[in-house]
Amino acid sequence: MPDEPQAPSEQELLEQLEAELRKLKVADILAQTVYTVSSLGWRRLAPGEERNLDEARLAIDALKALLPVLETAVPPETMRDFTQMVANMQLAFAKAAGEPDDAGAALS
């Protein structure tokens, strides 16, 4: 029977994690945060069970706070896309806020 590969020790795992952390850039993490928060925000704007306008508003506000921080850290075209995405979310929020609570159920 061939030797089973040994699982890395806790120390080896810690060293691997530290090596990965050294590679990370804060701007990359913040950009990923924008993607994650926007995805959650869009889900909370969608008609149906997941709609939660308070959560959608929080997502929009968080994105509006993050974008100025990223302005000098990401390419201009990325900033343009992020800014447009927030504007689109704000429009969708305004539309959703004007709909009756059961509009999603009526359309199903």
Residue 28 lies in a domain: yes
Number of domains in the chain: 1
Q: For residues 43 and 52, give the distance between their C-alpha atoms in angstroms, rounded to a whole number.
A: 9
Residue 66 lies in a domain: yes
Structural domain boundaries enclosing 35: 24-98
pLDDT tier for residue 103 given thresholds of 50, 70 and 90: very low
pLDDT tens digits for range 65-94: 999 999 999 999 999 999 999 999 999 999
Residue 89 lies in a domain: yes
Residue 53 lies in a domain: yes
Residue 88 lies in a domain: yes
pLDDT tens digits for range 9-57: 899 889 898 998 899 999 999 999 999 999 999 999 999 999 999 999 9
Residue 19 lies in a domain: no
